[in-house]
């Protein structure tokens, strides 16, 4: 069950406590503390290399931190062995940045894949669930096509269908509008909003897409130097006079942004 926060705040489904993560260079996460409220949409913002996608992978045990505590409800994710992470992943839908569809499989087989892996439904029941899910996203006519026969926007919807076919408690979106034009990006924003109304998941959206962030967020988090620089609602971000926040939202480089980062200097 999600953990209830004090002072009447929403329950937290996912929490990070003093989490540290590095690869070969400087820390990616440096003592990060984060609460993801149950039933809400949290948008994670930050420059490239800030650790946004790493954060998502840590949430479901695809990566492990060097130190700190990560919880999914009452489960301590960072201490779970791989064989026990299946339950967390069944409760979580993950929309990968590039969709990650299987090119040799039809839409039906792609979307059915989680059902085959994690349920005992027979072929007819799986097909019915897939059709229902595709209808929810407005693409049921694509069931028998291959990924190569789909447009970029259609592929994104099919990947989203696969992510929600198990009706997950939590949805993780990794740069969901990458490679899409502004119109298709707005479609993705509307789909995220629609899924919130229909399925009521806890959602975490990693994105550079500022219009998308403001359309879907209940809460926004800006990462910088491995920690949270600012967090709050969209209104707090839109009215913030913090120079780091303003530079990121407005897309304006500051003088210090022109200096090489530690990672770039080491390259």
188-236 pLDDT, tens digit per residue, is 899 999 999 989 999 999 998 999 999 999 999 999 989 999 999 999 9
Domain that holds residue 240: 43-61+81-266
* High-pLDDT (> 90) share of the chain, %: 66
How many domains would you assign to the chain? Answer: 1
The Cα-based distances of 23 to 30, 51, 63, 224 in angstroms read: 12, 11, 11, 17
In a domain, 35, yes or no: no
Angle (CA) 43-97-139 rounded to 5° is 95
In a domain, 196, yes or no: yes
Q: For the whole model, what pTM was predicted?
A: 0.86
In a domain, 173, yes or no: yes
Query: CATH number, domain at 126?
Result: 3.40.50.300
In a domain, 24, yes or no: no
The Cα-based distances of 203 to 55, 165, 219, 227 in angstroms read: 13, 15, 11, 20
φ/ψ bin of 49: left (φ > 0), alpha (ψ from -120 to 50), beta (otherwise): left
In a domain, 253, yes or no: yes
In a domain, 224, yes or no: yes
Distance CA 37, CA 26 (A): 29
How does pLDDT run across 5-46, given as a tens digit for each residue?
444 566 899 999 999 999 988 899 999 999 999 999 999 999
In a domain, 104, yes or no: yes
In a domain, 184, yes or no: yes
């Amino acid at each position: 069950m999600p953990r209830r926060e004090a002072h009447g705040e929403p329950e937290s489904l996912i929490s990070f406590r003093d989490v540290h993560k590095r690869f070969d260079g400087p820390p990616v996460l440096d003592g990060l503390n984060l609460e993801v409220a149950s039933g809400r949409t949290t948008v994670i913002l930050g420059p490239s290399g800030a650790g946004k996608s790493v954060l998502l992978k840590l949430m479901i045990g695809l990566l492990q931190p060097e130190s700190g505590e990560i919880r999914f409800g009452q489960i301590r994710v960072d201490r779970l062995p791989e064989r026990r992470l299946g339950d967390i992943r069944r409760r979580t839908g993950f929309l990968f940045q590039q969709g990650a569809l299987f090119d040799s499989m039809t839409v039906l087989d792609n979307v059915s894949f989680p059902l085959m892996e994690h349920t005992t439904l027979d072929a007819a029941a799986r097909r019915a669930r897939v059709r229902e899910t595709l209808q929810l996203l407005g693409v049921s006519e694509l069931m028998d096509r291959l990924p190569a026969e789909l447009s970029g926007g259609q592929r994104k919807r099919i990947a989203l269908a696969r992510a929600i076919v198990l009706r997950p408690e939590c949805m993780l979106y990794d740069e969901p509008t990458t490679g899409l034009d502004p119109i298709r990006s707005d479609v993705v924003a509307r789909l995220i909003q629609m899924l919130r109304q229909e399925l009521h998941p806890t959602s975490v959206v990693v994105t550079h897409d500022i219009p998308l962030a403001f359309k879907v967020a209940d809460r926004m988090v800006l990462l910088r130097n491995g920690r949270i620089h600012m967090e709050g609602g969209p209104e707090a971000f839109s009215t913030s006079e913090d120079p780091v926040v303003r530079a990121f939202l407005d897309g304006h480089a500051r003088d210090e942004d022109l200096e090489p980062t530690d990672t770039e200097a080491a390259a």
